[in-house]
Amino acid sequence: MAGYLVRRLLAMLPTVLLISLVSFLIIQLPPGDFLTTVVAKLQQQGQTVGSDQLAALRAQYALDKSPLEQYFRWMTNIVLHGDFGQSFQYNKPVSTLLGERLPLTLGLGLATWLIGWTVALIAGIYSAARRYSKLDYVITALTFLGLAVPGFLIALTVVYLEFKLFGVTLSGLVSPEFEDASWNLGKLLDLLNHLWLPVLVLASGGVAGTIRVLRANLLDELHKPYVTAARARGLDERKLLMRYPTRVALNPFIATIGWTIPALFDGEVLVASVLGLETTGPLLLNALKSQDMYLAGGIILIACVLTVIGTLISDLLLAAVDARVRIGYGGSSK
Amino acid sequence: MSDPLSRRTFLRVSGLTLSASAVAGCSFFSTDAKKASGSGAAADAGAKESPVLSAMVKNGKLPPLEQRLPKNPMVIKPIQSPGKYGGVLQRGQIDRGATQNQYVEFAGLLEWTPTTPAEPGPGLAEKWEVLEDGKVYVFHLREGVKWSDGQPFTADDLMFAYEKEFLNKELNPVFPGWLAPGGKPGKFVKVDDHTLRMEFEVPHGLLLKYLCFIGLTGFGSSSTVLLPAHYLKQFHKDFISPAQLKTLMKKYPAPTWSDFFKGRRDIWKNADAPILGPWKLVAPLQGSGVTARLERNPYYWKVDEQGRQLPYIDSQQYTVMPAETLGLRAANGQLDLQVTDIQAEQLPLLIKNQESKGYKVNRWVAEPNTSINLNQSHPDPVLRALFQKVDFRAGLSHAINRKEMNDALFAGQGFIRHPCAQPEDEYFEKGMGQRFIEYDVNEANKRLDAAGLTQRGPDGMRLRPDGKKMQLVGRCFEVGVGIDAISVLEYAQRYWKAVGIDLVAKPMTPELWYEEIPHGDYDLVAYPPATILWDIDSLWYIPTNGLTYWAPKYGNWYGNPKDKFGLEPTGDIRKLQTLYDQLVTTADKDKRLDLGRQILKLHDQNVWIIGTVGTPFQPLIAAGDLRNVRPDAIASFRTHYENASSPEQMYFDSPEKHS
Amino acid sequence: MTTLQTDTLADTPVPATEEPALALASQRTLIWRRFKRNKLAVVSLWIVGFIYFTAAFCEFLAPQTQDTYASDRAYAPPQLMKVSLTSSPHLFVNGYKGTPNPETLLRDYTVDKSQRYGVRLFAKGDHYKLWGLIPSDRHLLGPSQPGAPFHLLGTDDQGRDNLSRVIYGTRISMSVGLIGVSAALVLGLLLGGISGYFGGLVDGIVQRVIEFFMSIPTLPLWLGLAAAVPPGWSALKTYFAITLILSLIGWTGLARVIRSRFLQIRDEDFVLAAELDGARWHRVVGRHMLPAFTSHIIASLTLAVPGMILGETALSFLGLGLQPPVVSWGVLLSGAQSIRVLTAAPWLLAAGAAVVIAVMALNFVGDGLRDAADPYES
């Protein structure tokens, strides 16, 4: 097992490097660079920037180097000094900016994920076990609706309804008066009051998909002979459902936990921009638009690393849950 | 920094009150958000300063008022009535990086008078003399003015800005253009602690106006004149050793020294930097937070007619929120003063709610008139020659049915004019901007024929003079004010089709546009140009740089005749540039007005910028009990939006409701 | 029931009138029978068929062209279609009176009951060219008197008929889904197929490529690629580019589904038999393996289309996708996302309803197909 872990970890390195390199190049696909915006601003202030001055500025920011060279410099600094570079736009180290936003992003992601999964598990299992019952139809209808309505539309409508019905407009994660207040019950309640909407909106799309697939997987399993066999031996229906078919039906999900991570970083960008959440999504969007490449690159790099780690964890989890997979590993580690 | 009464002390006092209230019963189970800062209690009209400050004076944390005010404080006559102290002004902004809300931290050597049109009036300089036909300006600074940390403000601060900022090649690769009339950099000379001379090789015609314009001379720009020398010296290369710098840059990391220095200088991001304006940042926008808080500057140097220190309002709070939320909050009466970011499309809701939610909607004069800027410096010589024909532009203009647009988009309330300044501008002459404006398809066709566009293709559309197919590509991007640029292009597309001109609209992101424009390789763009105080923002009417949307290449040439993307203008366009060169170097007001009018007349005759329909008014949202707000002013970048109504003399009738 | 055939199911056979005995029925017939039992899916199939029909004939079905405007009818509310039960029963709408409001800069509309405009089938109206070829001025439904106000879903800021624009948007939005999915299918089939059939090292490499694509957050891909579309490109070219971008992001899921199917079937006896017969690999794949899971592919495709449609909406919302004057549901929605719309002109959200209906119907059809294609299903 330890050997497997080491090998997996080593195999991760090239993947991460490759992904970060490609993303770094993609960021620079659009014409121009960060200085374009800077120069436009200077000119609006009545300052003409000549081409020689522009060249000097480019050199100052090392923008005159080729993208590949820029990438290698950046990577070297990360590896040797843990320095993710500077955001041009915010004039701050990328690591600081990430440090400010990551907790919120991950917290929001985790809350969405937990709530989404709890709901999806219960609804999916129920829906499959009591197929074609009234509640199954309700769940099915709701999930399809959740899949079909664009998240930003839900967010926009709920914000408006809140205004219309309660005369409040929630934005951000805490009310301004609580922002620099220390933590107390009021702030916690206020946070929850702001949090439910984004969590609801973000979860709605994901939950719907999960319920659908879980239901289908479970239905497949329920027809398998081993279930019939277990039932014939008089196993309690609830135990029967939870012990085997559900576990097997969950496998595909466990296997894809890792893939849900990149969406954490940008999946909420639409919802976040409607609701005014300062997560990494809008940060990444802005960074990409203004070609603040170290910032954008840094966010993508972290997303990549987490994704790869997530994949590893889900593989390990899979092995822990499913004996068949475990045996497979034993064979391959020879 | 060793001053015992620095801003830090001030903060510590609020900190003390905070901990006191914490002891008094703030526990985890409290649901109270208040940090018990300003009491917000209405003060009796007799008090000369805010109760917040008198409490600090009593505690010995702040010197008494007489020691904080200058010898000769600036006396402000309130717009309506003298006010009450206290309250928190709530405001909002959409863009995190936007600068307009920072204006309240600003003070000026000179400041705009709260009039229409705005005139340069006294500020930190109580008087000034213009000598040698405008080659020398002498400014007499108010004696005893102090920075917000209690340190004196003197001519040395201005000298620091000149010597250590403007002349430093790393901080300012280019000497600020506004201080270099005729391209020749000016010079600052300190006469004594309170007298400063600015000397120029040629007369400076616009210096006083420039000094009022925060966009140029404010903190946000690289040509700030008001820099706290005592504070900034500790970060400036010329004053500290490389080793010290290295330690400091570790503390405040930045890619380069110049970025580091600018970061320290930025009074919107760095709460430690002393300021001279009425309010001072105490909690900047940070991390994922969405609010910034400002508190009154205890050393502010303006008083009302009773000698009571301004501002009346104790604090301000800014919240960053999405456009939709901002509109809804405004309609909910949760924003106390807002011009910027209030979009015309939010009007119906704002009007509907103003009674029930207790705020008022003032109608300020709006500037935007989304116009069609044909690229007069088109790289294709055939199109360039065509675009430069008056007949062509007249034809395009006559083909537009502005009344119809006005009816649809502004319920017929918008103004119909070509951008040629606006009636409130001092250079404007009655009747300007009306040429070729009426909708007349026959005349349009006649003009287009006269421009040489007589051949038509198989689809009935006019061909280029050289017989090739002609399809104009109209660029646009989201501006946020005026008619949606894309709507203008959609209308133009239909109207021009009727006279045989093929136009396609091409929307793009602003970032991409800024990348493209310096190359000057496009047909036309829809954008609202500036129409008030255009003389201090020359690029809109005179091709002075690559951002002149209707002639970018000529603008590039003006900036640098050797520019790769430059092109030498001829005729009337060149004349614009020479007239402007004269205007900038003419100190005599009448002569200057005459030159400005000549420039506008050229625009009036040539219609280089084809106007459509202007926004009828700009809504200003003000809390129901906010007093001393001007009922009508121009909402413009150059007069600093809300600040055209001097927020320091605004007050709440019931400040206790705004705590 | 033979009319059920639609674009999405072009190769689903029309069931023979005399149904063969269950034992002799082909796989397709079996699937079709099972599908028909799912009422919701059948209804949805009708809806999907109807939507694509609308997309195909939008010029004829829309009462106006997408760009016909009336300055005195900006933000006009929807009109109610009424039936007149006089001697000659007919449909009509009431006219309205719009008074400009100088405060709100909008028009206040009041319905004018005295004004009646008859509504008829095949009404004369705007000139158009069906598919850019066949000129006509007949519209399925319209006012009998050309130019009279007839806005069943209200109008937008320029006074353009919202219903017509939603109908025109159908063509772009639904075809984005189809074309995008086709492109994704080609990629997915190719790479997923190769991966699943050959296995081993090839499989490993393809799997890494897929994982690689899945690990890149989609936002930079969208932005980078959408911004790289040259500004000089025509609307049509941009449209195809955006579609390709969407499919570039969508193909990985399909590839994984196809690969796993290949892996399952590869060990079946009939494949071995074909190989032993000396069939070359492309014949084994094309003739023997692919038909065995066509239904699954169709189901996955149907489920992928809505993703593309939503993707287009999101891109337009971010200002990166299609842009006006192109009319797609995404473009219409991104123009409708303001308070003014929610308060003063909620009817402009109709494009959102269209998205929801189309996406739901496609999902139901896909779900029904998947269930029907499952051989283990009783």
Length of chain C: 378
- Give C344's contacts in chain B (Cβ within 8 Å): 348-349
Is the pLDDT at C11 greater than 50, yes or no? no
pLDDT (mean) for A78-100: 81
pLDDT tens for each residue of A140-178? 788 878 878 887 788 888 888 888 787 777 766 777 667
Is the pLDDT at A123 greater than 50, yes or no? yes
A173 touches chain B (CB under 8 A): yes
* Lowest-pLDDT choice from B8-22, B111-125, C273-287: B8-22
Q: Report yes or no: A12 and C210 within 8 Å, Cβ to Cβ.
A: no
Q: Which residue from C245, C156, C168 is spatially nearest to B486, judged by alpha carbons?
A: C156
pLDDT (mean) for A194-214: 79
Is the pLDDT at C42 greater than 80, yes or no? yes
- The C-alpha of C343 sits at a distance from chain B's nearest C-alpha, in angstroms, of 7
Task: Work out the pLDDT band at C375, boundaries 50, 70, 90.
Answer: low
Task: Work out the pLDDT band at C261, boundaries 50, 70, 90.
Answer: confident
Q: Touching A: which chains, 3+ CB pairs < 8 A? A: B, C
Of residues A136 and B586, the one with the higher pLDDT is B586
Helix axes B242-251, B257-265, angle to 10 degrees: 60
Give the pLDDT of residue C365: 85
- Give A147's contacts in chain C (Cβ within 8 Å): 306, 359-360, 363
Give the pLDDT of residue A181: 67
Mean confidence (pLDDT) of chain A: 76
- Give C227's contacts in chain A (Cβ within 8 Å): 29-30
**What one-character-per-residue DSSP string does B205-218 give?**
SSHHHHHH-HHHHS
Give the pLDDT of residue C12: 45
Q: One-letter amino acid identity for C164?
A: S
A154 touches chain C (CB under 8 A): no
Instruction: Indicate the Cα dihedral angle C139, C140, C144, C147, nearest 10°.
Output: -40
Residues B261 and B236: their CA atoms lie apart, in Å, by 7
- Give A92's contacts in chain B (Cβ within 8 Å): 253-254
Q: Which residue from C313, C44, C346, C9 is spatially nearest to A141, judged by alpha carbons?
A: C44
Q: Which residue of B has its CA nearest to C342?
A: B349
B616 touches chain C (CB under 8 A): yes
Give the pLDDT of residue B31: 58
Q: Report yes or no: B326 and B92 within 8 Å, Cβ to Cβ.
A: yes
Task: Work out the pLDDT band at B351, boundaries 50, 70, 90.
Answer: confident
Task: Work out the pLDDT band at A179, boundaries 50, 70, 90.
Answer: low
Q: Report yes or no: C223 and A289 within 8 Å, Cβ to Cβ.
A: yes
Is the pLDDT at B450 greater than 80, yes or no? yes
Q: What is the 3-state secondary structure (H, E, C) of A230-299?
A: HHHCCCCHHHHHHHCHHHHHHHHHHHHHHHHHHHHHHCCHHHHHHHCCCCHHHHHHHHHHCCCHHHHHHH
pLDDT (mean) for A71-86: 82
Is the pLDDT at B271 greater than 60, yes or no? yes
φ, ψ for residue B120 (rounded to 5)?
-65, 130
Of residues C26 and A233, the one with the higher pLDDT is A233
Is the pLDDT at B547 greater than 50, yes or no? yes
Give the pLDDT of residue B390: 96
pLDDT (mean) for A195-217: 78
Residues A120 and A124: their CA atoms lie apart, in Å, by 6
Give the pLDDT of residue C243: 80
Give the pLDDT of residue B77: 93
Question: Across chain C, where does the E strand assignment appear?
Answer: 82-84, 90-101, 106-130, 134-143
pLDDT tens for each residue of C72-81? 888 888 988 8
pLDDT (mean) for C313-331: 80
Which tokens belong to B598?
A: 């000549």
pLDDT tens for each residue of B113-131? 998 889 999 999 999 999 9
Residues A97 and A82: their CA atoms lie apart, in Å, by 15
Give the pLDDT of residue B3: 41
Is the pLDDT at B65 greater than 90, yes or no? yes
- The C-alpha of C3 sits at a distance from chain A's nearest C-alpha, in angstroms, of 26
Q: Which residue from C361, C296, C337 is spatially nearest to C27, judged by alpha carbons?
A: C296
Residues C48 and C50: their CA atoms lie apart, in Å, by 5
Give the pLDDT of residue C181: 84
- The C-alpha of C244 sits at a distance from chain A's nearest C-alpha, in angstroms, of 16
Neighbours of B333 (CB within 10 A): 18
Residues A17 and A1: their CA atoms lie apart, in Å, by 25
- The C-alpha of B126 sits at a distance from chain A's nearest C-alpha, in angstroms, of 26
Which tokens belong to C27?
A: 């796989």
pLDDT (mean) for A279-303: 82
Residues B313 and B89: their CA atoms lie apart, in Å, by 7
Residue from C219, C233, C249, C343 whose CB has the most chain A CBs within 10 Å, to mutate = C219
Give the pLDDT of residue A150: 80
Per-window interface: A 46-75 vs C, CB < 8 A: none
Cα distance from N-terminal residue to C-terminal residue, chain A: 11
Establish whether this prediction's ipTM goes over 0.85.
Answer: no
Of residues B77 and C302, the one with the higher pLDDT is B77
pLDDT tens for each residue of A6-62? 877 787 788 788 877 887 787 777 666 777 766 666 655 555 565 666 777 777 777
Nearest by CB to B559, from A48, A88, A185: name it.
A48
Residues B39 and B315: their CA atoms lie apart, in Å, by 11
Give the pLDDT of residue A44: 56
* Lowest-pLDDT choice from A129-143, B635-649, C293-307, C353-367: C293-307
Task: Work out the pLDDT band at B595, boundaries 50, 70, 90.
Answer: very high
Residues A184 and A187: their CA atoms lie apart, in Å, by 5
Is the pLDDT at C14 greater than 60, yes or no? no
Q: Which residue of B has its CA nearest to C101?
A: B411
Residues B236 and B234: their CA atoms lie apart, in Å, by 6
Is the pLDDT at B42 greater than 80, yes or no? no
Task: Work out the pLDDT band at B21, boundaries 50, 70, 90.
Answer: very low
pLDDT tens for each residue of B559-593? 888 888 899 999 999 999 999 999 999 999 999 99
Geometric angle at alpha carbon B363, from B361 and B366, rounded to 5°: 135
* Lowest-pLDDT choice from A249-258, C43-52, C70-79, C248-257: A249-258
Distances (CA, A) of C119 to B521, C140, C148: 50, 10, 10
Taking every pair of Cα atoms in chain A, the longest distance, rounded to a whole number of angstroms, is 86
Give the pLDDT of residue C156: 87
Task: Work out the pLDDT band at C376, boundaries 50, 70, 90.
Answer: low
pLDDT (mean) for B508-515: 76
Q: Which residue of B has its CA nearest to A280?
A: B288
Is the pLDDT at B35 greater than 60, yes or no? no
